[in-house]
A and B are shown apart, each in its own frame.
Chain A
Amino acid sequence: MDQLNAVGKSILRPDGLAKVTGQALYLDDLPENGCFHGVTVRSPHASARIVSIDVSGISDPDVKVLTAKDVGPRNSVHLIQDDWPVLAEGRVNHVAEAVALVVAPTFARAAAAAKAVRVEYEVQQPVLTLDDALAGDPRANGALNVLSTCNISRGDVDTAFANAELIVEGDYATGHQEHAYIEPHGIIATPMLDAAGVFVGVDVIGSLQCPYYVHKALTYLFDLGDQAIRVRQAVTGGGFGGKEDYPDMIAAHAAILARACGKTVKILYERQEDIVATTKRHPSRIRHRSAVRRDGTLVAMDIEVLLDGGAYVTLSPVVLSRAVLHAAGAYSCPNVRIRGRVLATNTAPNGAFRGFGAPQSLFAVERQMDKIARALGVDPHALRSRNAYQEGDLTPTGQVLRESVSAVAVLEKARAATNFVERYVANEAARAVRQDDGKPLPGIGLSLFWHGSGFTGNGERRMMSKGAVRLRADLKIEVLSSSTDFGQGTEGIFKQIVSDAAGVGLDDVVVHTPDTAAVPDSGPTVASRTVMVVGGLLSRAGAKLRQALCTFAAQQANAAPASVILQGGFFVTDSGETPFSDIATLYLRIYGPLTCEATFEPTPGSTFNEETYEGDAYAAYGWGANVVEVEVDPDTFVTRVTKLTTVSDVGHVIHPVLCAGQVEGGTLQALAWGYLEEIKMKDGRYLNDRLQTYLIPTMADTPDMETILLENPTASGPFGAKGVGELPMDGGAPALLQAIENATGIALSAIPATPERIFEAARARASKTA
């Protein structure tokens, strides 16, 4: 491979200095220039018929109110199924569903008018939990309550169970999780009006992850051509999946208000509105039945995955697919049956959240592995080590893991780095003879996990994403993609990739802000696909540009094309070096700007059958092992995480500091989901809808972290890179629960492991032994 000048170095992120000096302009920092403000009127009920909407209480002459009849021509958010209304029509299916919109010259006047909107409801019995949904209550609106199904089957599961040496069963549950990005949602929409003042399109800027999702949603909503809609990303203060789908909704609201009043309209959510209205991580109920040999070898797994989708389909089918594909964990097993369903409830739609279903199913399988290990009397590491995937193994979809398989490597590294087995065993022995002296109980826990990079199955093939690079008149090579940076450092990473792919200096490369009027559709910024898939497109586009310029340089020198190479910003031949800028200047003078584009190409030989769920589910997998150390207070059952060790293989690391930052930030979210974060609900209303009551980790809650990156490259990513964004969300919670079990002997199967939940389990255990 060519010498790497940029890839692998922790360069200064291009937006770094703007962010640390407060100069970066987020949505609410943009000049308002007299724009109007939109406010949303929301349902207080989880399930109700809308009897009437009365706006006669509004006396402000500059206020406009919109209801369902004013939306459109279509009234739904265009995602997988178009069942999610922009404004509720006839009935509401969850608390905080948008019923009406109000626009006024100031936020205060819009808010006052919104309070004056009177909506009369006929309240109905809601379905609020998976238990309710399982009890067979039909959804109040009469729709089917199964939003999606997904099944995988391999081998002969029933025969394997019939002949099993040991069968272990377990039920696992996880709850809602709020993204809690520090910058709440916001969108500004400016109407495009023709000479007669007629609305012909809209220009949207927002805090968002997926400009082309918003573009498609608005194109569909207004039934206008592509060119009528322009979507740009403002500097975005965190997303974690929460700004994947919901910006479609806010953009639709802002855009129809802009159409109605003919002015630029801003909608900015306050924190409470952001929490009650926007999507959450899907709660799950997952049942495992495992057939195991006495030596610990997995023989069969029968897994049922249930996800709570909330009131509308949104992205749930894809979340379920990823949950099901990861449900058997990082373990080889010849007979596997996984059945998944998403059920509807009268709660706000659950949507994308870092990990996208995989954290739920990996939590369950990792706790099941702990249960099996205990049943066999072996330590958690030994059982994992025996069953971990190796190169050549088959996954539940029959995919052969041909390359870049690091399950054993990350597991062994984690064990060695923490002295895991000895310390786990010592804690077990100490617990058996412990006298309660009020001192904190030490525990240590281990998890092993995998995460597929990029879209599932044929998703990438269907999208056929594009990325491009352009040699501009100012001699800069401009990166054109719709991948957004909402913290990960995408901009710098793309500069590194293109710099080395094109053979030019880092400073020769600039990245265009995502803007649907200027960049091709590289697909959404989701699914750990930015570096591996879009970075791969840009790497190929950069190589094409390098090739074109080398050919040109050779022509100019009357040399053979192969005799010129472009490396590190210089054209190199036998006779000497010429700076990139000299040749580029000449090229531009003769031919003008040069654009090179690349379109997605599947890994050669890969296939996936979406009907049978057989084949290559992902082009490559990241691998991770976590070791979590805790102290549990024996009297209050408060858990303190004292140390976190992560080992991750995400392929060749493009930027070590940013990569470690993804791992550390994601794993803290995972730990917090495991013991701290919980949405409490009453009658479908969130009880903790503020940051004072929905707690996320502070520095005081956060352990010291040791972050180890193993680099096992893949042929499917640029310079061997795989995806890193979501893998860190997968292993924190189960390792934490194993550590709590190691400390206390209490095996929890549901998260979060709050003191109350541990106490209840301890009491149940005490009453059983009494």
Chain B
Amino acid sequence: MSTPIKFTINGKATEVAAPPMARLLDVLRRDLALTGSKEGCGEGECGACTVLMNDEAVCSCLVPLFQCEGASITTIEGIAADEKVSELQRVFATEGGAQCGACTPGMIVTIRALLDKHPQPTRTQVREFVSGTLCRCTGYERIFRAIEVLTGQRAAEGVSDNPSNGSLRG
């Protein structure tokens, strides 16, 4: 039983014929071949599947397809808009925000939503907003720092042609 659902994905009008209770995550990954969003737990705890739904960060593993009718969905594949890689993504890579990378798509989508609401977030605001996305590799410190570098609150440490990195050395 498949009803066509119409919505916008990464700015593109899309129609999907799938069961209304199909998980948005499966529709993205299986029907639309957008495999950037990951499944880490399947119960909305880890946030690796986070996408923007009408500019709100949601766990796509918890969203049934029928709720997407008319919605605008942005996945990690659409986060850079017209550029290939957004500044957020680049700084995430250079400042050590990504290690294994399994949480990274959901993390970046969540931080995109954070920065839309708080362009100069404090760590407290980051903690509150991003705590729904789990990272097991980084201890989060380099994620905080990537955000702070992006928003001009901290100097970059991971620039490829800057060998000093003095702040890390004891």
Q: Taking beta carbons and an 8 Å cutoff, which residues of A are in contact with B?
A: 8-13, 15-26, 28-29, 179-184, 235-240, 270-271, 413, 486-489, 647, 653, 656-661, 664-669, 690-692, 696-702, 704-705, 707-711
Instruction: Decide: B141 and A705 in contact? CB cutoff 8 A.
Output: yes
Instruction: Determine how close the nearest CB of chain A comes to the CB of B162; give it in whole angstroms.
Output: 7
- Highest count of chain A CB atoms <10 Å: which of B76, B92, B108, B140: B140
> Is the pair A240, B162 in contact by a Cβ cutoff of 8 Å?
no
**Interface residue tally of chain B, by bracket?**
35 or more
Name 14 A/B residue pairs within 8 A (Cβ), A-sorted. Answer: A10-B96, A17-B89, A19-B98, A19-B101, A22-B37, A22-B77, A28-B39, A182-B103, A183-B100, A238-B99, A647-B170, A661-B96, A668-B139, A702-B139
B46 adjacent to A691 (CB under 8 Å): yes
Output the least CB separation between B114 and chain A (Å). Answer: 11
- Interface stretch, picked from B1-9, B16-24, B62-70, B129-137, is B129-137
Residues of B within 8 A of A667 (CB): 139
Evaluate contact between B160 and A238: CB separation under 8 angstroms: no
Q: A10-B158, A657-B168 are in contact. Are A665 and B93 (CB under 8 A)?
A: no
B104 CB contacts on chain A under 8 angstroms: 19-20, 22
B36 touches A23 (CB 8 A): yes
Smallest beta-carbon distance B69→chain A, Å: 25
Contact with A along B153-169 (1 / 0, CB 8 A): 00001111111010011
**Contact between chains at A238 and B102 (CB < 8 Å):** yes
Take A10-B158, A21-B77, A182-B102 as given contacts and tell me if A698 and B136 are in contact as well, using a CB distance cutoff of 8 Å.
Answer: no
A658: B residues at CB distance < 8 A: 96
A192: min CB distance to chain B, Å: 27
Question: B residues within 8 A CB of A179?
Answer: 136
> Contact between B101 and A657 (Cβ–Cβ < 8 Å)?
no
Q: Given the complex of chains A and B, what is the CA–CA distance between A413 and B170 in angstroms?
A: 8
Closest residue of chain B to A18 (Cβ to Cβ) is B101
Q: List the A side residues contacting B123 at CB < 8 Å.
A: 704
B77 — nearest CB in chain A belongs to which residue?
Answer: A22
* Assembly CA distance A704 to B154 (angstroms): 14
Determine whether the beta carbon of A180 is less than 8 Å from that of B137: no
Please tell me if the beta carbons of B41 and A19 are within 8 angstroms of each other in the complex: no
Q: Does residue B53 face the partner (Cβ distance < 8 Å to A)?
A: no
- Report A-chain residues with C-beta under 8 Å of the C-beta of B34: 22
Please name all residues of chain A whose beta carbon is closer than 8 Å to the beta carbon of B45 when the two chains form the complex.
690-692
Quick one: given A182-B136, A705-B141, A709-B170, are A24 and B77 in contact (CB under 8 Å)? no
CA distance A42 to B73 in the complex (A): 39
Contact with A along B32-56 (1 / 0, CB 8 A): 0011111111110110100000000
Q: How far is the CB of A480 from chain B (nearest CB, A)?
A: 23
- Which among A26, A184, A656, A697 has the greatest number of chain B C-beta atoms within 10 A? A656
Are B99 and A20 interface neighbours, CB within 8 A? no
A183 with B102: CB separation less than 8 A: yes
Question: CB-nearest residue of chain A relative to B80?
Answer: A21
Instruction: Please tell me if B94 contacts chain A, counting CB pairs below 8 Å.
Output: yes
List the 4 closest pairs (A to B, CB-CB), nearest first.
Answer: A22-B36, A237-B102, A16-B93, A487-B100
